[in-house]
A and B are shown apart, each in its own frame.
Chain A
Amino acid sequence: MNPLVTTLIAVIAIALIGFFGTAFGAGPDTGQTQQQATNWTAISMFAAFVIITLGITKWAAARTRSVADFYTAGGGITGFQNGLAIAGDYMSAASFLGISGLVFANGFDGLIFSIGWLVGWPVLTFLMAERLRNLGKFTFADVASYRFAQTPLRSFAATGTLVVVAFYMIAQMVGAGQLIKILFGLEYIYAVILVGVIMMMYVLFGGMTATTWVQIIKAVLLLGGATFMAVMVLLQFGFSPEALFAKAVEVKTGLAAATGKSAEEAAKAGASIMAPGGLITDPISAISVGMALMFGTAGLPHILMRFFTVPTAKEARKSVAWATTWIGYFYILTFIIGFGAIVNLIPNPGEYFVNGDLAKGLNGGGNMAAVHLANAVGGNVFLGFISAVAFATILAVVAGLTLSGASAVSHDLYASVWRHGNVDSDTELRVSKITTVALGVIAVLLGILFEKQNVAFMVMLAFTIAASANFPVLFMSVLWKNCTTTGAVVGGTVGLVMSVVLTVLSPGVWEATLGNPKGSAWFPYSTPAVFSITAAFVTIWIVSLLDRSARAQKERALYPDQMTRSETGVGAAEASAH
């Protein structure tokens, strides 16, 4: 497929979803927020973050001369640094604000998502990390297309990358706009443009080096801030989780009683935060969500790209071990923070709830639990700090996404598909910079287009596509000798199409976003991952086995060499020797 056509299709598909969402009056929107008073503390702290990170970008710019510097920081990041950067990529605003908000509302249920987001990491470590490092250079398409026909496979992988990046990006941009209204008291549109412009400066001038350091700084600030909050909460209870939980149950019971429930019902409602509730209803949805979260991690292009920034397989393994540690630690903190918010915010409705009314919910919406808790335990200055960090989080994640989208266009589509690899480093670098600007503009436009939409499903959709299109192709091409180009491309496409179509037909989009009546969704489960992942693997398997072409024979014959390189790293040295 022509690379321009592929890119266009991805862009048009996303624009269409946006258009239809708007055209069909997208139902009640839980993501909308009220603008708050301008918060100068938060704004100045955020400004300080931006000034420091732009300083780093200037330093990084001097070291970003070749495409290798731009895409992978010249392979010169250590395992520990990369682990923090991966954790930074992963600890998005959705996981910090979303999970603590979920714990604040439902207690235990928040933990289910945290665990799902974590368990993909060990599997990625055990099966893929080292092989990715040994086979790849800049993008995961390098690995997946190692022994295959470059044009079809890279076109597919670039499409998979751009679609995942786009959905993830929309969620981040809309989140940024909503957050800035509450945190800084500024207009939505400022946030979207601000994120677009600053992020473009990081990526454009500092490439992967700047993006990595922005992630590292943000990860340290976020981990530090969250640790402080969790410690302050535990301090209130003499570091006894049992005492914290007991108080939370008591507060929730009081809350239920105040809304007119009988004593027995209120006690039941209070105790419910200690047990799994309505979040996971049927076993198929439970397994499906689990699979999307677990295998999606191993198919996120901006995460996979980080494996090429370290010099050796040893460092690649170390980086995932550190990333897993930080992410796991962070999720335990968000759980404590969510409970801390229950015991600190609900007894003070006047300060934290809309019109002081518990029934109307938190000021700024349910995702603001962690932000209000910052004020409760650390006062206005700490509130400013956490607000600035939350916004910086979005900025850093968007920069990582843009870099990975830019590399898919310039390295996979332009250099490999369009120019068949006959392109010098300077030209490829120029193309990736032009793409960065284009993606920055597209990100801002998508942010504006989706302002009024409920984008809550988009992160999950990004994970489902990553798990159903990118992961099966990557996994089979690296580990199964009979896999062929045709099998991989057809199977991956089946996974991609199924995950998008069935997600649109699921209750979360069909009813909650598109505003169709309840019960009218054609596909009854929360996510199609269990079906789309299976379909992708089975299709790759059957199509590859049926593939009797001469090209397929040649590809199978190349497997032993690929396997030897992926297991030993011999021949991979040149990939990192810049």
Chain B
Amino acid sequence: MSVEAWGQIRSNPKFQTFVKKRNRYSIIMSVLVIFAYFGFILLIAFDKAFLAQQIVPGGVTSLGIPLGVGVILFTIVLTWIYVRRANTEFDAEAEAILEESTK
């Protein structure tokens, strides 16, 4: 039963475009996280002095701390942005395609 439905869904050109669009979005988001994280790690490996400098001259807090906490917040925010779009826009689109393909 499923096999037949899968075939019908796949033959709908809208499905192919949809999958491509959603995958591109997933990959862009993943690349953003990977860049942020490995960028941070490479800074630690190659330029410790950059992270060690004070944000405010005469203060104590180093640039590394807001950057590190920033990576944590960036990760959380990016996850919610993705989930929100996937759960509303993408799911609605997928449902419409499924309905159209299997009726």
A residues near B (Cβ < 8 Å) are: 108, 111-112, 114-116, 118-119, 121-123, 125-127, 130, 241-242, 245-246, 249, 271, 274-276, 280, 282-283, 286-287, 290, 294, 314, 317-318, 320-321, 324-325, 328-329, 331-332, 335, 560-561, 563-565, 567-568, 570-571
Do B87 and A114 touch (CB < 8 A)?
Answer: no
What A residues does B40 contact at CB under 8 A?
115
What B residues does A568 contact at CB under 8 A?
9, 94, 98
* New A-B contacts (10) at CB < 8 Å, excluding given A111-B69, A119-B34, A286-B42: A108-B51, A115-B68, A274-B60, A274-B65, A275-B48, A275-B52, A276-B44, A287-B41, A331-B72, A568-B94
Interface of chain A, helix or strand or loop or mixed? helix
Do A317 and B83 touch (CB < 8 A)?
Answer: yes
Do B64 and A274 touch (CB < 8 A)?
Answer: yes
Q: Roughly how many angstroms separate A124 CA and B56 CA in the complex, as a whole number?
A: 37
Cross-interface CB contact of A130 among B75, B76, B79, B86, cutoff 8 Å: B86
Cross-interface CB contact of A328 among B19, B75, B91, cutoff 8 Å: B75
What B residues does A328 contact at CB under 8 A?
72-73, 75-76
Cross-interface CB contact of B52 among A114, A276, A282, A294, cutoff 8 Å: A276
What A residues does B45 contact at CB under 8 A?
280, 282-283, 286-287
Q: Roughly how many angstroms separate A335 CA and B64 CA in the complex, as a whole number?
A: 13
Do B33 and A123 touch (CB < 8 A)?
Answer: yes
What A residues does B33 contact at CB under 8 A?
119, 122-123, 126
Do A112 and B44 touch (CB < 8 A)?
Answer: yes
In the complex, the 5 A-B pairs of residues with the closest C-beta atoms, listed nearest first:
A275-B52, A571-B2, A283-B45, A564-B6, A274-B62
Do A321 and B83 touch (CB < 8 A)?
Answer: yes
Do A276 and B72 touch (CB < 8 A)?
Answer: no
Do B91 and A314 touch (CB < 8 A)?
Answer: yes
Interface of chain B, helix or strand or loop or mixed? helix
What B residues does A570 contact at CB under 8 A?
2, 5-6, 9, 98, 102
Closest to B87 in A: A314
Q: Roughly how many angstroms separate A290 CA and B83 CA in the complex, as a whole number?
A: 24
Do A115 and B72 touch (CB < 8 A)?
Answer: yes
What A residues does B52 contact at CB under 8 A?
271, 274-276
What B residues does A271 contact at CB under 8 A?
52, 60
Contact of A565 with B6 at beta-carbon distance under 8 Å, contacts A108-B62, A126-B26 already known: yes
What B residues does A294 contact at CB under 8 A?
34, 37
What A residues does B15 contact at CB under 8 A?
564
What A residues does B83 contact at CB under 8 A?
125, 317-318, 320-321
From residue A168, how far is it (CB to closest CB) to chain B in Å?
23
What A residues does B62 contact at CB under 8 A?
108, 274-275
Q: Roughly how many angstroms separate A115 CA and B41 CA in the complex, as a whole number?
A: 10
What B residues does A317 contact at CB under 8 A?
82-83, 86-87
What B residues does A332 contact at CB under 8 A?
69, 72
From residue A226, how far is it (CB to closest CB) to chain B in Å?
15
Cross-interface CB contact of A571 among B5, B37, B68, B82, cutoff 8 Å: B5
Most A CB atoms within 10 A — which of B7, B22, B91? B91
What B residues does A320 contact at CB under 8 A?
79, 83
What A residues does B102 contact at CB under 8 A?
570
What A residues does B22 contact at CB under 8 A?
567
Cross-interface CB contact of A126 among B9, B10, B29, cutoff 8 Å: B29
Interface string of B1-45 (1 = CB under 8 A from A): 011011101100001000100100011011001101110111011
Q: Roughly how many angstroms separate A286 CA and B27 CA in the complex, as a whole number?
A: 24
Q: Roughly how many angstroms separate A122 CA and B72 CA in the complex, as a whole number?
A: 11
What B residues does A242 contact at CB under 8 A?
59-61
From residue B101, how far is it (CB to closest CB) to chain A in Å?
9
Cross-interface CB contact of B82 among A122, A282, A283, cutoff 8 Å: A122
Do B60 and A245 touch (CB < 8 A)?
Answer: yes
From residue B57, how far is it (CB to closest CB) to chain A in Å?
13
- Jot down 27 A-B pairs with beta carbons below 8 A, ordered by A: A108-B68, A111-B65, A111-B68, A112-B41, A115-B71, A115-B72, A118-B72, A119-B71, A121-B75, A123-B33, A123-B34, A126-B27, A126-B29, A241-B61, A242-B59, A249-B60, A275-B51, A275-B52, A276-B44, A286-B41, A290-B41, A328-B76, A560-B10, A561-B3, A563-B19, A567-B19, A567-B22
Q: Roughly how many angstroms separate A65 CA and B27 CA in the complex, as a whole number?
A: 41
From residue A466, how far is it (CB to closest CB) to chain B in Å?
18
Cross-interface CB contact of A119 among B27, B61, B75, cutoff 8 Å: B75
Closest to A329 in B: B76
Contact of A126 with B76 at beta-carbon distance under 8 Å, contacts A280-B44, A561-B3 already known: no
Most B CB atoms within 10 A — which of A245, A560, A568? A568
Closest to B71 in A: A115
Q: Roughly how many angstroms separate A119 CA and B72 CA in the complex, as a whole number?
A: 8
From residue B29, how far is it (CB to closest CB) to chain A in Å?
5
Do A246 and B65 touch (CB < 8 A)?
Answer: no
Cross-interface CB contact of A565 among B2, B68, B73, B78, cutoff 8 Å: B2
Do A286 and B44 touch (CB < 8 A)?
Answer: yes
What A residues does B19 contact at CB under 8 A?
563, 567
What A residues does B76 contact at CB under 8 A?
324-325, 328-329
Do B69 and A125 touch (CB < 8 A)?
Answer: no
Contact of A118 with B68 at beta-carbon distance under 8 Å, contacts A108-B62, A287-B41, A571-B2 already known: no
